Amino acid sequence: MDDPESKINFFERNAIFLNNIKQFSSKNELGLYIQIIGSYTDALNRKGHYNVAIDLIDKYQVFIDAEIKRLNAEDVKDAWYYSIYFVKGMASYNLKDYKTATPIFKKLVQIDDKNDSYKNWLNYSQAWQRQWWLRIISIALVALFLSGLYLKKYIPFAIGMTINIIAFIGVLGISIYEHYVRRSFRKKK
């Protein structure tokens, strides 16, 4: 079944077996394991269990990569394999951990530069990663605006008005940019 609850229940019913696998005898077994882990972590992400999904991906990715190396199975790195990284990037993004999400999306775009979903997630992750700069600039502009109001006795009217207009236009521009990013992502998501 395609619903997240069924995938989570399947994994949890078989967790003892899946967690106790020490190695695989073939590339096919490893490929199936990657599909199961990919489906499970995607289901957790879709249910909003972002931290759990990231922790499990970190745990299973080490084992999967070691088995790929041991079996010399680079051809197993297919859409399912990269979907695990994608889920980690999405979960990190949803946790507002843009420093983790952005490099993941960059790597995925390098691997598949035609995938619009990877590109969109990368663009928005980078946009939100820049967000703290925008906050600092906004605070500086508000401080500039307030200083223009309080210092109007000591500076000429034209200079004070220019400072206030620049500060107002800057804050307005940042607000419009933030609104655009939020709205665009909702449409594309």
162-182: per-residue pLDDT in tens?
888 898 899 899 889 888 877
Distance CA 40, CA 36 (A): 6
Distance CA 119, CA 115 (A): 7
Q: Which residue has the higher pLDDT, 17 or 128?
A: 17
Which pLDDT belongs to residue 187? 61
How much is the average pLDDT of 99-124? 94
Q: What is the pLDDT of residues 39-68, one digit of tens each?
A: 999 999 999 999 999 999 999 999 999 999
Confidence band (pLDDT; 50, 70, 90) for 128?
confident
The mean of the pLDDT values for the chain is 90
Which pLDDT belongs to residue 83? 95
Which pLDDT belongs to residue 189? 52
Confidence band (pLDDT; 50, 70, 90) for 37?
very high
The lowest-confidence range among 89-103, 105-119, 120-134 is 120-134
Q: b/e per residue, 43-78, with b = 16+ CB within 10 A? A: bbbbeebbeebbebbeebbebbeebbeebebeebee
Q: Which residue has the higher pLDDT, 47 or 183?
A: 47
Which pLDDT belongs to residue 1? 66
pLDDT at 186 over 70: no
Which pLDDT belongs to residue 91? 97
Q: What count of other Cβ atoms lies within 10 Å of the Cβ of residue 22?
A: 6
